[in-house]
Structure 1
Amino acid sequence: MEQTLVIIKPDGVKRKLVGEILQRFERKQMTLAKLKVAKMSRELAEEHYAHVKQFDFFEEMMTYMTSSEVVYLVLEGTEVIKTVRKMIGATNCLQAEPGTIRGDYGANSYQNVIHASDSPEAALTEIKRFFNE
């Protein structure tokens, strides 16, 4: 069974969208394998977003991602990575289709409510990063 990591970001938690987002995944017959609520440390945020460190918005994004609690999920299902990526929509929510999570709720390129792994390799790395028990 394929797994993926999903993070409901601070804006999604603050705006009380967690239940709505979980319900969307459950309606697609995905299994919620793990869930935890925690504040992301600066160290984990820098590791997770190292691929955008060169961009001007990096510091603002670090402040945002460590500002309050996030919800970490591990979802399981057939082709779950591809399905979740389709459901969340384009990273830049201004380009995301209506009906996707980012298209319906996102604010900008990083305050876009949600993160999801983009490949099986990323999913393995990210699940280990945030669920390292």
Structure 2
Amino acid sequence: MSLEKTLVILKPSAVQRGLIGEITTRFERKGLRLAGMKMMQLTDELLNEHYAHLADKPFFARVKKSMMASPVIACCYEGVDAVQVVRSMTGATNGRAAVPGTIRGDYCVSNQENIVHTSDSPENAIIEVNRFFKPEELFEYKLNALPFLHYAEEMQ
């Protein structure tokens, strides 16, 4: 187990539907520490970099258009195995296939308008957090509830 940071982007579909509080509350109640959060309008340049692995796909232009439809909320969460925890909470990419109880299972029915983006590996989380946040936009502070979330050996 390891303490790690991960990126969560609340997509325009979450912002437009007023789900920001609902979703951030779920991550906080799970025990993840919010290290950074900001509202931003994504640019073509940033999306070309972020979704470079999709550039040759026929749906790439649609993904970019969807992600630029309104501002997004970029979040950095930290916790023990944060990437895996966030991915489990988020559910399957296609909201119609996502299990009830997951964020997508509870809040969406689309493959495209699927509420959140999350980092898919600890390695990509480091890259993505650095892409969306400057070092001074991330905060280190003691989460007073930590001893009630983990035993000491879990955080080593």
Normalising by structure 2, we get a TM-score of 0.82
Unaligned runs of 5+ in 1: none
> 80, 85, 89: which one pairs with 2:82?
80
Secondary structure of the corresponding residue to residue 92 of structure 1: coil
* Residue 11 of structure 1 pairs with residue 38 of structure 2: no
Secondary structure of the structure 2 residue equivalent to 1:96: coil
- The one of 119, 126, 129 equivalent to 1:127 is 129
Counterpart AA for 1:104: D
Quick check: 65-74 or 54-63, which moved more?
54-63
Q: Tell me, which stretches of 5 or more residues in structure 2 are unaligned?
A: 136-156
Of stretches 21-30 and 45-54 in structure 1, the one that deviates more from structure 2 is 45-54
Residue 31 in structure 1 maps to residue 8 in structure 2: no
Structure 1 residue 62: Cα displacement: 0.9
- SS of the residue 1:121 aligns to: helix
Matches within 5 A, 1:81-120: 81-120=83-122
Q: Name the residue aligned to 1:44.
A: 46
SS at match of 1:82: helix
Larger radius of gyration: 2
Write the distance in 1 (CA, Å) between the matches of 2:90 and 2:78: 16
1:69 aligned partner, one-letter code? P
Match of 1:73, SS state, is: strand
**RMSD between aligned residues:** 1.1
For 1:40, the aligned partner's letter is L
Measure, in 2, the Cα distance between the counterparts of 1:32 and 1:122: 18
Which consecutive aligned stretches of 4+ in structure 1 deviate over 2 angstroms post-superposition?
A: none
Q: Distance in 2 between matches of 1:132 and 1:64?
A: 24
Count of residue pairs the alignment pairs up: 133
1:107 partner SS: coil
Identity %: 47
Amino acid across the alignment from 2:19: L
The secondary structure found in structure 2 opposite 1:7 is: strand
How far does residue 61 in structure 1 lie from its aligned partner after superposition?
A: 1.3
Distance 1:97 1:76 in 2: 24
Please state whether the residue corresponding to 1:75 is helix, strand or coil. Answer: strand
Pair 1:69 & 2:71 matched: yes
More divergent stretch after superposition (54-63 vs 112-121): 54-63
Q: Helix, strand or coil for the counterpart of 1:54?
A: coil
